Chains A and B, each alone.
Chain A
């Protein structure tokens, strides 16, 4: 049985404050190769965590494993989200529970319009929660408001999902979908890749407009520049499948300045 707390969310929020996402000694591999070698991370409601690290450190793997990508085999540890172990859940169940992954490479799906895709998604999630589907008028009204919020051009909604979209349009579409689905936890996987500075700013503004005390964000990025716009509460450095350093937002600036080599050296020194 599913219990929903309608109306008294704020009274309960103190409980969520304790922890929203708890990743404990998470290990995952692909094709027999271990990529995540014991990740530990806690995210509380409203927090923004940046995951940084050199290429191949496992950043995108972590994002994928949280969203439920099936190519990865979880070999150890657990992930508790809102009190539930999500590792046994299908990707669609995780989405319905409130986890959203903004893709590094959003997929083009010819023949399915963005609007139809989102309507299906919204109503499938509502079904999961035991809520009645939105009718066409309610849905359209909601979608228009959200499109405005993240500066998404209405005309893109009627086009096939991401088909022929520019890099910036694709990323903006990710943020727009996030606005529509209103997740509790948004994971942005290299959202800055392939964007020029203007597109980056627009996308970041979209993400910022969705920040709230209840919504948490994990920003996966190689570069510091996205963090100029989406300012994190914490920065974690992932290297060789482990979080090797955590710190306040200033850590990102330090990485920008000094690169990753000093971190690598530190890790190797410890052995």
Chain B
């Protein structure tokens, strides 16, 4: 472990205590006690090295070798954001710049009332007990340094609470912008989403970077999905060549609920996504779609968990990647079928196209099945573009680059088509088309 590694860890711990010292009575609140526990866990675990089984192929040494300003001010306005935008549609749009909610840029259009859509900071001001009761509930058993670090420093993010039988008509789009034009910036957004019985919501997290300095985002999202609820959750990362992103999405599903996740990593220096779904109910279905598209020396790591705890539920997973240049991809998909979870159906597939001899893909399906009456399958493929398909297209007059683009777009299509927020899907189609045309 280098001195600098100790530096970032020590610096964060010192920073925490400095903040705590000026908190007065708030330090004894339930919210802060949870944060303090987070810090203690982070202190105990430290940043993971590649000796850690979960981090074997993803080395954070580079990420933690510098310091970041976690409180950076930003003068960012709508003009600067213009080119970072996702095409508009009627949606609740919440901007977070360097991790903090920006009310001026944001527009919450769903009627105020029973449904709460607000920043975490505002929600906490209004109802500290309620926010504290949800905070870190799903992630409390996570033995993960970055999640613990986020818990310790959680300040802002989104707080969405949808009571039973309510639905949010317009999607909720969260835009996290790192303003790294002047210095290395860090942010640790914490999103808490609680969806009541038979409630419906679609939401998307979009991460962007402005500027060429480093950005480090350590994001955690907790999503509670009550009985019969339907949640569609998308995460889109189109960050800079100097963006480091660690994110965990922790989901808990109850009886007869439906959860759809789409995780699309278009750009970023180093990305690690953890998507952990606990199927804690019967007759649930969880769907996980992922797409990643690294080039240059980018690194994308997706770790997923489908944890079947009750009988009669289904999980279905499809991750796809196209790797170019010297990029690296990692996929680790865990399926747990607990002893009670009879009649589970769990499917997993990870398909990759490696376009360069210098690119690498590590895939690891991991199935742990403790029930005997289950259907599980997994498969991974890593290959090149289909030469026969390429020749077929060329023999019809389609140039090689155009044929490659069409084939790769088609490869991405079965993930992209799963994204049910129109503006987000169209945005992805545009960016992917451009990215395919660029090489």
Contact = CB atoms under 8 A, between A and B. Distances in A.
B411 interface: yes
Given A112-B406, A112-B410, A124-B402, A95 B396 contact: yes
Given A107-B389, A111-B413, A92 B407 contact: no
Given A70-B391, A117-B393, A111 B410 contact: yes
A117 B406 contact: yes
Nearest to B409: A111
B20 to A, nearest CB: 53
Contacts of B392: 103, 106-107, 109
Contact of A96 (B386, B393, B397, B410): B397
B395 A110 contact: no
Nearest to A64: B391
B430 interface: no
Nearest to A113: B410
Contacts of B396: 92, 95, 100, 117-118, 121, 177, 181
Interface in B388-405: 388-389, 391-400, 402-403
A90 B394 contact: yes
Contacts of B394: 68, 90-92, 95
A115 interface: no
Most buried by A among B392, B406, B410: B392
> Which of the four size classes fits the interface of chain A?
20 to 34
A109 B398 contact: no
A112 B398 contact: no
Contacts of A107: 386, 388-389, 392
B266 to A, nearest CB: 18
Contact of B397 (A109, A110, A116, A128): A128
A258 to B, nearest CB: 35
B352 to A, nearest CB: 16
Contacts of A117: 393, 396, 398, 406
Interface residues of B, number: 22
Most buried by A among B389, B400, B407: B389
B402 A120 contact: yes
A70 B394 CA distance: 11
A125 B394 CA distance: 11
A210 interface: no
Interface in A64-103: 67-70, 90-92, 94-96, 100-101, 103
B410 A125 contact: no
A121 B407 contact: no
B391 A181 contact: no
Which 5 pairs show the lowest CB-CB distances between chains A and B?
A111-B410, A95-B397, A91-B394, A125-B397, A107-B392
24 contacts: A68-B395, A91-B394, A91-B395, A92-B397, A92-B399, A107-B388, A109-B407, A109-B410, A110-B410, A110-B414, A111-B410, A111-B414, A112-B406, A112-B409, A117-B398, A118-B396, A120-B402, A121-B396, A121-B397, A125-B397, A128-B397, A160-B410, A177-B396, A181-B396
Given A91-B394, A95-B394, A112-B407, 15 more contacts: A69-B391, A94-B395, A95-B396, A96-B397, A101-B395, A103-B395, A107-B386, A107-B388, A109-B407, A111-B414, A117-B398, A117-B406, A121-B393, A124-B399, A181-B397
